[in-house]
Amino acid sequence: MKIEIWSDVMCPFCYIGKNNFEQALEKLPFKDQVEVEWKSFQLDPTLDTNKPQTTIQYFEEKKGVPESQAKQMLAQVAQMGKGAGINFDFEKALIVNTFTAHKLLHLAKKHNKSNEMEEALFIAHFIDGKNVGDPEVLISLAENMGIDAEEARQAVTSDEMDYEINQDILEARNNGVTGVPFFVLNGKYAVSGAQSIEVFENALQQTYKETVSPFKDLSGDNGASCDADGCSI
């Protein structure tokens, strides 16, 4: 059974959704039969890699959200994160263009390490406060995962991965995906947002047993997610 997950590195709900999905999958007897493929999605392709902003600055300048409201929103997300075993540090997180980070993800996919790299990028961005648009940061992450540094440098500084990234984004658009995380279960069901472990578990079980219309949303509601206009709970 194949699970395709559209995600962006700077989406906190993608990290929460990843953890909840993985915990649900661990409970299921067919977990070893599940293949996970991470797909690229950009929440804000207009961002500048060379001009990182704090999360508060981004909400204020790009979204027009007052600082007090932004802090309240981030506190809610941080609380959700704790429930999924994540200690977000939004004061350190740097908002940058994530296209280069997606290049590293596609390189990791070729090494069968995309899931590990997705986790490493979330940690780098949300916990360690690293600039995930900086090629040197990305090359270091690749080396830590046993990927050759020169291969990583070629991937993140050239356009060789651009087609694959753009195909993921185009596929998402063609399927009506406007926010992430977005999970497509075996090409049949869809689950949108950072759903609970229980929702993921039920969706995976049902997908395994049944054949249904493509992209029927099993979540039943719009879970916490991010789109081009921002993040919502």
Beta bridge partners of 180: 226
pLDDT (tens digit, 9 = 90+) per residue, 118-154? 999 999 999 999 999 999 999 999 999 999 999 999 9
Residue 7 has phi, psi (to 5 degrees) of: -155, 155
CA 12, 193, 47: angle at the middle one, nearest 5?
45
**E strands present in 29-84:** 35-40, 53-54
pTM of the model: 0.90
Listed range (3-12, 45-54, 121-130) with the worst mean pLDDT: 45-54
Rounded CA gap, 20 and 120, in Å? 17
- Tens of pLDDT, residues 13-36: 999 999 999 999 999 999 999 999
Q: List, for residues 73-87, the tens digit of each pLDDT value.
A: 999 999 999 999 999
Q: Whole-angstrom Cα distance, residue 196 to residue 200?
A: 6
Q: Give yes or no for a contact between 124 and 130, defined as CB atoms under 8 angstroms apart.
A: yes
